[in-house]
Amino acid sequence: MILDYLKGLNSSQRQAVEQTEGPVMIVAGAGSGKTRVITYRVAHLIQKGVDPFQILVLTFTNKAAKEMRDRITKVVGPEAKNIWMGTFHSIFAKILRVEANKLGYPSNFTIYDTDDSKSLIKAILKEMNLDDKLYNPNFVYGRISMAKNNLISAAEYQNNEQIQADDFSTGRGQLGKVYATYTARCFKAGAMDFDDLLFKTNVLLKDHPDVLYKYQHKFKYLMVDEYQDTNFSQYLIVKKLAAVTYNLCVVGDDAQSIYGFRGANIQNILNFQKDYPDVKVFKLEQNYRSTQNIVNVANSIIKNNANQLEKNVFSDNDEGDKIKITRSYSDNEEGKSVAESILQERSIKSLDWNDFAVLYRTNAQSRSMEEALRKANIPYKIYGGMSFYQRKEIKDLIAYFRLTFNNNDEEAFKRVINYPARGIGKTTIDKMILAADQNGKTLFDIATNAFQFLDNRAATAVNNFATTIQSFAAIAKNNNAFEAASHIAQHSGLLKDLYEDKSVEGLARYENIQELLNGIKEFSEREDIEDRGLSVFMEDVALLTNDDNQKPEDKDTVSLMTIHSSKGLEFNQVYVVGLEENLFPSQMSLNSRADLEEERRLFYVAVTRAEKKLHISYATSRFKFGTLVNSEPSRFLDEIDPRYLEIELPKKAFSSNPSSFDGERSAWKSKTSEAPASTDVFSKPKPASQKVKTTSLLSKAHVPTPGFKPEDTSNLQVGEIVEHERFGFGKVINLEGNKPDIKATIFFKEIGQKQLLLKFAKLRIVKS
């Protein structure tokens, strides 16, 4: 059996599978069979006699873990279910359930999702009378999350002079107190947020040497998938757990490290050889996914990054079509061009709709794509939209489940105490919150002793609610997940409330609850798990990642998604749109080399999603905040080797050699006045001789009016026309601020929108 699965591996893959001892780094290029290597390596360990209970495999999505376990099962059989395999958060939540008492938490602690955390933060901000515009809940949540991922506790946050100085400089000097209050309230509610699952694991391993010793000797072999995406907190946990056996294997690709904004640290993989000097390094360089042309384009892009692990990715697949570069005059025209191309490619090559994906840098770009696809009657799905478990009615029922198992769950309590309506108003809830704070009790404590704190009418309703929740706990304890969930859905009144809403929306919400119950029924009938209780189902739901919630293959539709969402996916044909400066690369990335290199890695990821054909497009103008702004092609286009390109531009734009790629930073930009070369199925083609005036930042410089002299603009008005020595003529569209620091937003005919400080702008007023 060993020979059977080893025969299917190439030389590099096989060496990586067979090297089971000591530190190992597998540098896996895009499409190089990474999942196969991980699964066969685990299977190989078991075949060699390693106890599956001693193997820990950490992934970033439940979907990846399930796929690996299924593959391992095919090789080694049912023993595969004994492997500790799952996401960082699910594995460490499992450990924290066992060790929770050492941290002062109940073993049935609730796991707050992002909405729960933000809801609690909003409540705290209101209680502290803080301006929620200055202390935006999203910002506060992100700040706390970043602190936890860098293992900075609330106390350390408040005692760090540099952090405090930064907060006070932005007028947010109370952030430390908000963080401390948030931490205390979570603890009181018996709840951990998603970041706590890693933060508290680090605390557990640091403060309890006996626990560290236990798990260091329990897990004899560790494997980490997508190691380039690990943050500081994950890095430390892995390093501690592997510190005894050093049997640590990490798999990843530095060229696909694109989550720096989430805290991922590319240095973890770049410095792995420094952390483990005796590491064995294996490079998976053969791409099995894409054509040679696509791989060559990807290589020509990523070689421009200075900070990377050296590798030479290649493909033995067909050479394939050249990569098509298309220019459009606007984002709307770009959408129409993509729609037309999809129709043509599908017809010519007999493809399904789900063979196509449109990738973009920002969610806002989906608008023009959606409009064009709708007009062409092309079915599509936005990938990355609201997941099933984020729908209100689903979160309502799950809040009942949560409160059943953890009566102290404050967010769940507030969500459902008066839904469906029980005559428990905001005034009563505010009284309960005040009583809980003054007496050091939880809201549920107040509810079970309602007559001590509330008037009789309100107390009766609140007490009945508490009794109902307590009865749910008894039902859940003695029944499987489906039986318990059905009872709670009915006796909470939620199912009845939705059933009585006969609107279209009400019917959809009722059907969603039925779908949830169907899913719980399937869970209750599974034979591969011992405990099929509702609490176990809840654990699975709480730890779902965004990637687990999305299923682009469910229907035959074109997939629309951001490039970040596309990682790990592959499609027959891929359209990467919006290759323009300040959009891709993002304007925010141009402040440092590290940020720019991450943008380039993002482009690399986009390119390597394509199997057979890759299309890249850009527009020379795009609507931004309601204003049409001229755009210039992305610098990344200049980095692509022209040998692999088919450039769809007017023939006159390339007077001699169309494949020479000086870019429209020469031919790309200075000669963009001809009509589009492609025919548009949505409108009549423009005559070849028609001139369409367009400009770019690299157009011929503005020649100032003879005798040009800057004027006093302190009394400038919106609507006035001005001249700038370099930017040319423009119209004032907005003024903000007070003298002498007034900022003017001006739309210049030649270069688009600019914001200038008037006292330094050197403008000449032309007319109103």
Domain boundaries, the chain: 11-102+199-284, 115-185, 314-379+556-647, 390-544, 702-767
Residue by residue, what is the 3-state secondary structure of 505-521? HHHHHHHHHHHHHHHHH
| Fold of the 115-185 domain | Arc Repressor Mutant, subunit A (1.10.10)
Please identify which of the residues 99, 113, 225, 598 carries the catalytic annotation. Answer: 225
Distance in angstroms (rounded) separating the CA atoms of residues 293 and 690: 35
Domain 702-767 in this protein, CATH class = mainly beta
Q: What is the pLDDT of residue 591?
A: 81
- Provide the phi-psi class of 440: left if phi over 0, else alpha when psi is between -120 and 50, else beta: left
pLDDT of residue 386: 56
What pLDDT is stored for residue 746 in this prediction? 87
pTM of the entire predicted model = 0.74
Q: Which residue is catalytic, options 226, 254, 410, 611?
A: 226
Given the DSSP bridges, would you call strands 728-736 and 721-724 parallel, antiparallel or unpaired?
Answer: antiparallel
Using alpha carbons, select from 373, 329, 246, 342 the residue that is nearest to residue 623. Answer: 329
Q: How far apart are CA 605 and CA 601, in angstroms?
A: 6
Contacts of 622 (CB under 8 A, 6+ apart): 330, 331, 578, 580, 583, 628, 629, 631
Options 1.10.260.40, 2.40.50.140, 1.10.3720.10, 1.10.486.10; CATH for 390-544 is 1.10.486.10
160 CB contacts (<8 Å, ≥6 apart)? 152
Q: Is 606 annotated for ligand binding?
A: no
Inter-residue long-range contacts of 101-106, CB under 8 Å, 24+ positions, other chains counted = 102/204, 102/208, 102/211, 103/200, 103/203, 103/204, 104/187, 105/187, 105/190, 105/192, 105/200, 106/190, 106/406, 106/408
Which helix (H) or strand (E) element contains residue 281? strand 280-284
What's the Rg (C-alpha) of the chain? Answer: 30
β-pairing, 743-748 with 728-736?
antiparallel
34 labelled ligand-binding: yes
Given 256, 286, 620, 695, which residue is catalytic?
Answer: 256
Answer yes or no: is 31 a known binding residue. Answer: yes
- φ, ψ of residue 379 to 5 degrees: the values are -70, 140
C-alpha distances in Å from residue 686, one per residue of 371, 581, 623, 653: 22, 27, 22, 16
In sequence order, what are the beta bridge partners of 648? Answer: 326
* Domains 11-102+199-284 and 314-379+556-647 alike in fold: yes
The answer to whether residues 346 and 575 touch, using CB atoms and an 8 Å cutoff, is no
d(CA 272, CA 401): 43
Q: Which of 13, 14, 34, 601 is catalytic?
A: 34
Whether 679 is a known active-site residue: answer no
Q: Is 35 noted as a catalytic residue in this protein? A: yes
Q: Give me the pLDDT at residue 657, please.
A: 37
Query: Cβ of 66: how many Cβ atoms within 10 Å?
Result: 14
86 vs 69: CA distance, rounded Å: 9
- The CATH H-level (homologous superfamily) assignment of domain 11-102+199-284 is P-loop containing nucleotide triphosphate hydrolases (3.40.50.300)
Block mean pLDDT (10 aa), the chain, length 768: 72 92 94 90 91 93 87 86 91 94 92 90 92 88 92 93 88 93 94 94 95 95 94 94 95 91 89 94 93 94 90 91 90 91 92 94 84 88 73 91 93 93 91 91 93 91 94 91 92 89 77 84 76 83 62 73 90 95 87 90 95 94 73 91 76 35 42 33 31 34 76 87 85 84 82 80 80
Q: Position 542: which residue type?
A: A
28 is an annotated ligand-binding site residue: yes
DSSP string, 514-567: HHHHHHHHHHHT-SS-S---HHHHHHHHHT--HHHH--TTSSS-EEEEEHHHHT
33 assigned to a ligand binding site: yes
Backbone CA torsion sign across 583, 589, 593, 594 = negative
pLDDT for 760: 78
Helix 392-405 vs helix 534-542: angle between axes, to the nearest 10 degrees? 130
SS3 at position 10: coil
CA distances in angstroms from 431 to 126, 357, 435, listed in the order given: 15, 53, 6
Contacts of residue 501, defined as CB under 8 A and 6 or more positions apart, other chains included, come to 507, 509, 510
Q: 15, 19, 20, 35: which one is catalytic?
A: 35
Are 220 and 54 in contact by the 8 Å Cβ rule? The answer is yes
16 is in an annotated binding site: no
- Three-state SS sequence of 103-131: HCCCCCCEEECHHHHHHHHHHHHHHCCCC
The two tokens of residue 80 are 């595969």
For the record, the structure tokens of 239 come out as 């390093």
Distances (CA, A) of 617 to 377, 500, 528, 596, 675: 21, 50, 48, 20, 16
Q: Are the beta carbons of 542 and 581 closer than 8 angstroms?
A: no
493 is in an annotated binding site: no
> How much is the pLDDT for 339?
94
Active-site annotation holder among 71, 172, 601, 609? 609
Structure tokens at 653: 């734009």
304-343 tens-digit pLDDT? 998 889 888 999 999 999 999 999 888 888 999 999 999 9
Homologous superfamily, domain 314-379+556-647: P-loop containing nucleotide triphosphate hydrolases (3.40.50.300)
381 three-class SS: strand
> Is 32 annotated as a binding-site member?
yes
Strand partners, 628: 623
| Model pLDDT for residues 575-613, shown as the tens digit of each residue | 999 999 989 998 888 888 889 999 999 999 999 999 999
Asked whether the bond before 420 is cis by omega within 30 degrees of 0, the reply is yes
List the structure tokens of 491. Answer: 């006796």
Angle, CA 515 vertex, CA 509 and CA 521 arms, to 5° = 145
- Is residue 54 within 8 Å of residue 221, measured between CB atoms? yes
